[in-house]
Amino acid sequence: MRQPSTRTSVRAQSGAAVITAMLVVALATTVVATLFLRESIAARSVENRLALSQTRWIERAAADWAKVILRADAAAGSVDHLGEPWAVPVAETRLDETVTAGARIGDRQRPAMLSGQLIDAQSRINLGAIVQSGQISAPHLQAARRLFTLLDLPESLADAVAQRLLQAQPRTQDGRLLPAELAAPIRLADLASIAGFDAATLARIEPFMAVIPTAGGANPATRVNLNTAPAEVLAAVVPELDLAAARRFVERRRDTFFRDLDDAAQRIDGRPVLAPALLGVGSAYFLLRGVIRFDRVEVASETLLSRASGRIEIVWQQRL
């Protein structure tokens, strides 16, 4: 009677041993798989950081390229128009190893790509010029009001911008100079803190308005370049010009450019007097927009460049 009991016990012990072995194998497999997963994540993280670091170098190279183009353009003359090399966008272009001194950049499945464009920031009305040297500039404020109206937006938004700019000016109280209440906006996105400037409004005005730092009326950032400005901006800056006439002027401008305001006035319906405080034929500020894809990383950026006395400087840069 004892023999069957012994056999059963042996079988039970054998089964338990098998189950224990299977559990150990499963546990070991889980541990190893977890280690491999962590190793894979760590390797992927290092690769992503390397790719992100490489995009930063490509961004710098793109900015240097833009500076070279703008410096060469300045040497060719003070007039800026849409027929010049800087105005030609760079279509999506595959980068080769010369960009990274021979280092491999991407693979066939994910090649490194770059696209970009230089935009004349002075083709737009500079909202930052509404307040100059601590005072509201009436011509610039009126032009901004007209442009908001042309865009089917409340003209009171221009007054809201003026008040915001005044808050960024130093104040005098009891004979003491006090710091400004708020920091001055330096880009269009900074206007989001003003009531009425929601995302939809900012997107609506973005092709026609900009915020460029300006220290006074002599600053070229206060003037709109009529060689590059769209019809809406021209109709806002020239009171005698309606939108239809401005569009006809832009159409005539496709095949030519203007070396001075008198030359341009001859081609505008009614030959209005063009205010030199509001209009010009050259530009000192340009927006560089670019998109870089490197391996799994894609970065879009925008940079404001200033050009003065042969020097090209970065005013600000943001990644979108």
Mean pLDDT of 11-30: 74
The whole-angstrom separation of Cα 73 and Cα 181 is 40
Give residue 8's pLDDT band: very low, low, confident or very high (50, 70, 90).
Answer: low
pLDDT digits (tens, 9 = 90+) for 171-191: 887 778 888 889 889 999 999
Nearest to 186 by CA among 227, 106, 128: 128
Flag whether pLDDT at 77 surpasses 70. yes
- Indicate if the alpha-carbon torsion angle 277, 278, 279, 280 is positive or negative: positive
Flag whether pLDDT at 211 surpasses 80. yes
Residue extents of the structural domains in the chain: 126-275
The whole-angstrom separation of Cα 146 and Cα 143 is 5
Tokens at residue 319, please?
A: 């990644």
- Indicate if the alpha-carbon torsion angle 97, 99, 103, 107 is positive or negative: negative
Please report where in the chains the tokens 């240097």 appear, as a residue: 64
Give residue 217's pLDDT band: very low, low, confident or very high (50, 70, 90).
Answer: very low
Residue 45's pLDDT is: 67
Mean pLDDT of 3-25: 69
The whole-angstrom separation of Cα 247 and Cα 265 is 14
Residue 50's pLDDT is: 66
Tokens at residue 70, please?
A: 């703008």
Q: Count other Cβ atoms within 10 Å, centred on residue 223.
A: 23
pLDDT digits (tens, 9 = 90+) for 259-290: 999 999 999 999 998 999 999 999 999 999 99
Residue 96's pLDDT is: 66
Nearest to 219 by CA among 146, 312, 306, 123: 306
Give residue 36's pLDDT band: very low, low, confident or very high (50, 70, 90).
Answer: low
pLDDT digits (tens, 9 = 90+) for 285-318: 999 999 988 777 788 999 999 998 889 999 999 9
Please provide the average confidence, as pLDDT, over all residues in the chain: 86
More confidently predicted of 36 and 319 = 319
The whole-angstrom separation of Cα 52 and Cα 33 is 28
Residue 1's pLDDT is: 46
107-111, 113-117, 218-222, 231-235: range with lowest mean pLDDT: 107-111
pLDDT > 90 fraction of the chain, expressed in percent and rounded: 55
pTM listed for this prediction: 0.81
> b/e string for 118-146 if b means 16 or more Cβ within 10 A?
bbbbbbbbbbbbbbbeeeebebbbbbbbb
Mean pLDDT of 30-54: 69
Residue 320's pLDDT is: 76
Which residues, at least 6 apart from 103, have a Cβ–Cβ distance to it below 8 Å?
97
Mean pLDDT of 88-96: 83
Chain Cα centroid distance, residue 310:
23
